[in-house]
């Protein structure tokens, strides 16, 4: 996040709730929004898409409890949407929200999008036009493992956090590495002009690995019961779009294509989601401005927020609800 988090002189506050998938971010953000009478900005890059409902655990109308959510289910499946564009549009939305609210909440598991919102991103240099075509040809001829190994050599830092099963992200990183001679991770650092005109209160949710893994498995099973396979079948004609290169969809596409059994696909979703949760924690733990809590420590979370909000504002009333989704 930003160093202006420590400042208490500024009037407006953005509470940012981060953590791995299934930890309880969504429920906590809604509970806090109810208490603070404010609104929520979603920073989950897959929940942006209106057709990815079950597989991305989008909150239902009942779960949202009337709290306005922004950047949720607003893009068609074919759309390409970048962290930079999200930053510009989310900052404009924050300006509108801060006209009526002292505090706004942002939450999601997409680290790059949250970084773009809170600190900004460095501008990427112009790259040689032939590189992407060359890398796509290498993908077709030698396969994705060849490219991921090359990425490990060129940018070991980004290699540790990127979804290595997403060829578009791997190719984009290599395109920058080869085109500039610099690691992609270096160029993705916040730009120097990233100071925001509001305080940032960063809340991280974490729990023991065994507990989180159980929650992930239960969530995947619940998604299947809710009709995830049917959702994926409806989206099959669009399976090559960028939005569908994501957990829960890729594995079930393999099942539909006859490459594995349904049981294997479900097990793969669980395994890959657990691996993704580990990468999320690696990303979020790098931010020393984030204060970490267990998801049921609501009293501690509320006290932490109240201590950082302007003294003129009322403390957050205590609540005993347990986060169950996020």
- Which pLDDT band holds residue 147 (cuts at 50, 70, 90)? very high
Percentage with pLDDT > 90 across the chain: 71
Distance, CA of 11 to CA of 151 (rounded, Å): 43
Distance, CA of 312 to CA of 300 (rounded, Å): 20
Nearest alpha carbon to residue 198 among 9, 38, 42, 32: 9
Q: What is the CATH number of domain 130-187?
A: 1.10.20.140
Nearest alpha carbon to residue 207 among 281, 270, 311, 309: 281
Q: In this predicted structure, which of 14-18, 61-65, 168-172, 211-215 has the lowest mean pLDDT?
A: 168-172
- Please tell me whether residue 256 adopts helix, strand or coil conformation: helix
Q: In this predicted structure, which of 2-11, 63-72, 73-82, 142-151 has the lowest mean pLDDT?
A: 2-11
Show me where the domains of the chain are located. Answer: 3-121+190-208+280-308, 130-187
Alpha helices in 37-72 (DSSP H): 61-64
pLDDT of residue 129: 79
Which one has a higher pLDDT value, 123 or 257? 257
Q: What is the mean pLDDT of residues 138-142?
A: 93
- Which pLDDT band holds residue 282 (cuts at 50, 70, 90)? very high
Q: What angle do CA 8, 12, 14 make, to 5 degrees?
A: 95
Instruction: Tokens for 136, please give them.
Output: 């796509």
Q: Do the domains at 3-121+190-208+280-308 and 130-187 have one common CATH topology?
A: no
- Read off the DSSP letter of residue 49: B
pLDDT of residue 68: 98
Convert the pLDDT of each residue in 45-56 to its tens digit. Answer: 999 999 999 999
Give the CA dihedral 275, 184, 171, 44, nearest 10 degrees.
50
pLDDT of residue 9: 45
Convert the pLDDT of each residue in 151-165 to its tens digit. Answer: 999 999 899 888 888
Instruction: Tokens for 213, please give them.
Output: 């893994």
Q: What is the CATH number of domain 3-121+190-208+280-308?
A: 3.40.50.300
Convert the pLDDT of each residue in 79-97 to its tens digit. Answer: 988 888 999 999 999 999 9
Convert the pLDDT of each residue in 256-281 to its tens digit. Answer: 999 999 999 999 999 999 999 999 99
246: left (phi over 0), alpha (psi -120 to 50) or beta: beta
Convert the pLDDT of each residue in 167-201 to its tens digit. Answer: 988 998 999 899 888 888 877 765 444 478 999 99
pLDDT of residue 234: 98
């Amino acid at each position: 996040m930003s160093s202006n988090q420590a400042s208490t002189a500024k009037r407006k506050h953005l509470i940012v709730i981060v953590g791995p998938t299934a930890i309880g971010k969504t429920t906590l953000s809604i509970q806090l929004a109810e208490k603070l009478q404010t609104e929520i900005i979603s920073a989950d890059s897959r929940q942006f898409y209106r057709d990815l409902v079950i597989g991305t655990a989008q909150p239902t109308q009942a779960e949202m409890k009337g709290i306005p959510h922004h950047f949720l289910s607003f893009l068609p499946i074919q759309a390409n949407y970048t962290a930079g564009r999200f930053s510009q549009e989310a900052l404009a939305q924050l300006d509108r929200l801060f006209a009526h609210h002292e505090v706004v909440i942002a939450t999601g598991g997409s680290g790059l999008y949250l970084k773009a919102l809170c600190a900004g991103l460095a501008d990427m240099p112009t790259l040689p036009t032939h590189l992407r075509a060359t890398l796509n040809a290498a993908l077709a001829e030698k396969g994705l493992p060849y490219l991921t190994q090359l990425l490990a050599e060129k940018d070991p830092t980004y290699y540790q956090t990127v979804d290595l099963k997403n060829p578009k992200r791997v190719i984009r990183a290599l395109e920058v590495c080869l085109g500039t001679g610099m690691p992609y991770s270096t160029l993705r650092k916040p730009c120097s002009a990233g100071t925001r005109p509001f305080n940032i209160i960063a809340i991280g949710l974490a729990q023991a690995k065994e507990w989180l893994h159980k929650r992930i498995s239960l969530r995947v099973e619940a998604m299947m019961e809710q009709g995830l396979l049917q959702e994926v079948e409806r989206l099959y004609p669009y399976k090559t779009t960028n939005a569908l290169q994501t957990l829960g969809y890729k594995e079930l596409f393999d099942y539909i294509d006859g490459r594995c059994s349904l049981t294997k696909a479900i097990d793969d979703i669980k395994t890959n989601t657990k691996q993704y949760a580990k990468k999320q924690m690696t990303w979020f733990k790098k931010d020393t401005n984030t204060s970490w809590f267990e998801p049921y420590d609501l009293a501690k979370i509320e006290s932490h927020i109240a201590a950082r909000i302007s003294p003129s504002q009322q403390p957050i009333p205590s609540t005993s609800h347990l986060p169950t989704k996020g």
